[in-house]
Structure 1
Amino acid sequence: MRTLLNVIWLVLAGIWLAIGYAIAGIICCVLIITIPFGIASFRIAAYALWPFGRTVVRDPEAGCLSTVGNIIWFVFAGWWLALGHVLTSIPLFISIIGIPLGVANLKLIPVSLLPLGARIVDSDDPFSHRSAG
């Protein structure tokens, strides 16, 4: 079922979201000082392509620079992105058949609000990001 939902998502919304996040990532990487935001954009783009079966977890080892970066991201891009995800999920929810896609769109909000210090992992194993030791 996950694969079917991911394919439908990819065709209807995922490819466009991923392209948008990838373009933002390229722009951020070109500007040098915003490379961490570019890397975060590429991570979100990959998540936007195939969201079903994956989830976002916070990295407990992320430092204070991650927090500062998230504040900067939130002010300049995060809340706009979150608002966009909410607004585009509304028609999906109204269409009834698009409810799972609306849920996937809402799943992108936490990582689009605060991408630094977040990891995208398999839903079946949310602790897979931790190193063994």
Structure 2
Amino acid sequence: MKVLGNILWVILGGLIMALGWILAGVICCITIIGIPLGIQAFKMAQLVFWPFGKTVDYSKMGTGSVLLNILWLLIFGWGLALGSAILGLVYCITIIGIPFGLQWFKFAKLALLPFGAEIIDTR
């Protein structure tokens, strides 16, 4: 079921979105200051490309991660999280779209707190 969900996800826009996140990560990594932001963009690209069967673990969040998450939230996070939450609500309107909507909610949470988060396969 996870494989089918991921294949449908990639066909219905996941590939384009993952490529967008990769491009954003490359652009951020051009400067030394932007490298931490680029790493977070690559983390999002990994999850966006193949989201079903993966979960995000927030247990390794330390003081540095909290401070970086606050900065991220003020600059980028709130907009990304709001957009993902809205898309999650739109997808959840239909019964068929609920699994995709739940993935958008996972992206919204990661968009708020990317530093210190780890993507884990759930098999």
Give the RMSD, CA atoms, in angstroms: 1.4
Identity percentage of aligned residues: 43
Number of positions where the alignment pairs a residue of Structure 1 with one of Structure 2:
123
Structure 1, gaps ≥5 residues long: 125-133
How many angstroms apart in 2 are the aligned matches of 1:88 and 1:13? 12
How many angstroms apart in 1 are the aligned matches of 2:92 and 2:109? 19
How many angstroms apart in 1 are the aligned matches of 2:59 and 2:31? 26
Q: TM-score, normalised by structure 1?
A: 0.85
Q: TM-score, normalised by structure 2?
A: 0.91
2:91 paired with 1:92 = yes
How many angstroms apart in 1 are the aligned matches of 2:13 and 2:103? 10
Instruction: Name the residue aligned to 2:31.
Output: 31
Q: Matched residue of 1:72: which SS?
A: helix
How many angstroms apart in 1 are the aligned matches of 2:71 and 2:42? 18
Residue pairs, 1:51-62, within 5 angstroms: 51-60=51-60, 62=61
Residue 31 of structure 1: how far off its partner (Å): 2.3
Residue 12 of structure 1: how far off its partner (Å): 1.0
Residue 80 of structure 1: how far off its partner (Å): 0.5
How many angstroms apart in 2 are the aligned matches of 1:4 and 1:25? 28
Structure 2, gaps ≥5 residues long: none
Letter in structure 2 aligned against 1:76: I
Letter in structure 2 aligned against 1:30: I
How many angstroms apart in 2 are the aligned matches of 1:123 and 1:26? 28
- Most deviating of 104-113 and 11-20: 11-20
How many angstroms apart in 2 are the aligned matches of 1:38 and 1:96? 35
2:23 paired with 1:20 = no
